[in-house]
Amino acid sequence: MAAPSNPLGDWGERSLGRRQATRMSRHFADVGVGIPAARLREIASGAPVGTDEWVDVVFGLVASELKRSERTAKFARSRRRGTHWLIFAVMVLVALNVLLCMACALLTFMQHASGI
């Protein structure tokens, strides 16, 4: 089975920038694939790729995307949880305010009723 000439997909049509390659190399390292940024740039520009290296690149791409989507989902969950707690805190403050207003009104009515 021959590896495709460019496993990085559409990056072969445009050059992979130095920062993009460095970032991609770091993401790959986070998921256990050690490919230097310079080699990623070579692969993106059309350099020949061995089957093992191609498997590493594809695995790095898939694992990095999964990790990113997990991080995004975790952020969305924590944001939703924070919103729920904020709504709860506002409702507690509203309830306390209502109780305080009712206590003030009751005391005012009691003062008028006693004729002080």
Domain boundaries, the chain: 9-114
Per-residue pLDDT reduced to its tens digit, 36-86: 999 999 898 888 989 999 999 999 999 999 999 999 999 999 999 999 999
pTM above 0.75, yes or no: no
Q: Is residue 7 classed as helix, strand or coil in its secondary structure?
A: coil
Q: How many whole angstroms separate alpha carbon 44 and alpha carbon 11?
A: 6
pLDDT at 65: 94
In this structure, what DSSP letter does residue 31 have? Answer: T
Number of helices and strands (H, E) in the chain? 3, 0
Name residue 32's amino acid: G
Segment 42-47 long-range contacts (CB within 8 Å, at least 24 positions apart): 43/6, 43/7, 43/8, 44/6, 44/8, 44/11, 44/12, 44/15, 44/16, 45/12, 45/15, 45/16, 46/5, 46/6, 46/12
